[in-house]
Each structure stands twice: as structure tokens, then as C-alpha cells.
Amino acid sequence: MQNFENFLLKNLPISKSIHPTYEEALHKMLIAGGKRFRPALLLGVVKSYNSLMLDSAMHAAFAVELLHTYSLIHDDLPAMDNSPLRRGKPTLHMEYDEVTAILVGDALNTYSFEVLANSPFSDYTRVQLIRELSSNGGLNGMVLGQAIDCYFENKPLRVKDIKTLHTNKTAKLIAASLKMGAIIIGREELGEKLYDFGIKLGLIFQIQDDILDVTKSSQEAGKLTNNDEDKNSFVTILGLDESINQANILADELLAELELFDEALKNELSPLLSKYINRHK
């Protein structure tokens, strides 16, 4: 992912103003690192079928990371999770103030679509990418999941409703990243297949995060842990042992489905997915 990191650093949002910290704050969380999991999925799909399109695909991967980073900034706000730590660094509302964190999140959100609108694809492909990112990251996707998560704090949900919550909050953006890779290479049928795979991948990702929340320290995780007692996490509702069992079931299903992918796609995604599919173990 070094090429992506280089692209990100060269394309950080630029805003020259009289504000003393706005520009610095815009960059702070983007350059703090992170797993870059969603961009890696998108770029992995593109590389599997047409490596000549990788440079162009960087724009779409960057847009996904911008939107994801905005969601983390807002998720950490006092009105939501009230977290002091993200990616091993102080959260923006801690380092600056709450207003700055809100506005930086807003800026990164909208900038993600500016990046896609200016990306070096056909008009048709740009519209498809914008539609995919907005529908999965917006009112019927990630934002809906966040709304459900916050509203039902201290109100235990049924297991099927927790899956609905986290399908929206976490899984849809992961699924969209895979599908956007397929859109770039013009394989829409593959995109639907990858989207369904991505929903399962997103659910195991969330179950694992819930497991790590109770088994890792904040220093190990790079963010505040043991912070989900009032939330509808899988561990809160199912308990640790059953959550691990559910993660194991999903891991087996995902690895079996991965074996059915085209050889090139399987070889490209396997190292990344094998690392994350079993990270709860």
C-alpha cells in the first residue's frame, strides 16, 4: 500500500485561509495511518484484472478513505462515542475542539465526492462510483447504522437487529469498496458478487472489533477500548465466547467463498483477507 500512501500525501486537501489550525486539522487524521483496508480492497480488485488502471483507481481509493476518515472523526465526538484516541493519536476534538472536528469531518465527507467527480474515468464510471459511495456511506448506509447505534444505546436489540445495525454502519462501505473496484474495470456482474461477499466481510470485521474491544488495551488497539458496555455490540449481546464462535463461522464461509474467485482475484486478495479474516484468533 506504499503507492497509495504516496498518492494520499500528494493529494491531501488544500485550503489556504486565515484559520490558524483548519488546514493542519484536515490532514491530521488522514496521515495518522490506519489499516487502509477499504482502499486495499478496491485496489486489489483493479490490480487483479487490469493493473494499468491502478493509477486512475487511486482516486477512487482515496475517496473511500476520505469518507471513512470523516466517519471516524464524527464517531469519536462527545455526542457519539466520546473517544479520546483514534489510530493511536488524540482525536481531533481533543487536540483542537469539537467545532473543528465536526467541520473537518464535514469537509472530508464532501471532498470525497469532489475527488470522484474529478477522477480520470468516463462520465458513466464517475456517476456509478459516486452513486455507490454515496448510497452505502449515506442516509441508507453508514449514517443510518450510526443513527441506530446511537438511538438504541442502553436499549438491547435482538441479534438480527444488531446485524442490521452493523451491516449499515460497517459492512456496506467495505462491500462498496470491493464493488467500486469492479465498476472501474467494467465488470458489473462481478461487482454484485463482491458486494455480497463484502457484506459478510464487514460483519466479521465488526464482530472482531467488538471482540478486540474487550480483549485488547487502548494502547494495543490504537483507540479507546472497553467502551461498548452501553452499545449494541456483538459481545454485549452474545457474550465473548459466542461472538468468537460467530466470527469463526463467518471466517470459514468467507475463506470457502474466496476459493471460488477467479485465480487472479483470489491470489491478489488472499494475503490481505487471510490476515483480517482471522485477526480475532
pLDDT for position 275 = 85
* pTM of the model as a whole: 0.94
| Nearest alpha carbon to residue 117 among 76, 70, 168, 66 | 66
Q: Which segments of the chain have a pLDDT < 70?
A: 218-228, 281
The CA-to-CA distance between both ends of the chain, in Å, stands at 24
pLDDT for position 223 = 65
Distance CA 147, CA 163 (A): 14
Write down all domains in the chain, each with its CATH number in brackets: 2-277 (1.10.600.10)
Compute the Cα dihedral for 54, 60, 64, 70 and give only its sign: positive
pLDDT for position 216 = 79
pLDDT for position 27 = 95
Contact 145, 170 (CB under 8 A): yes
pLDDT for position 269 = 96
pLDDT for position 274 = 86
35: which DSSP letter? -
193: which DSSP letter? H
Distance CA 135, CA 253 (A): 26
pLDDT for position 174 = 98
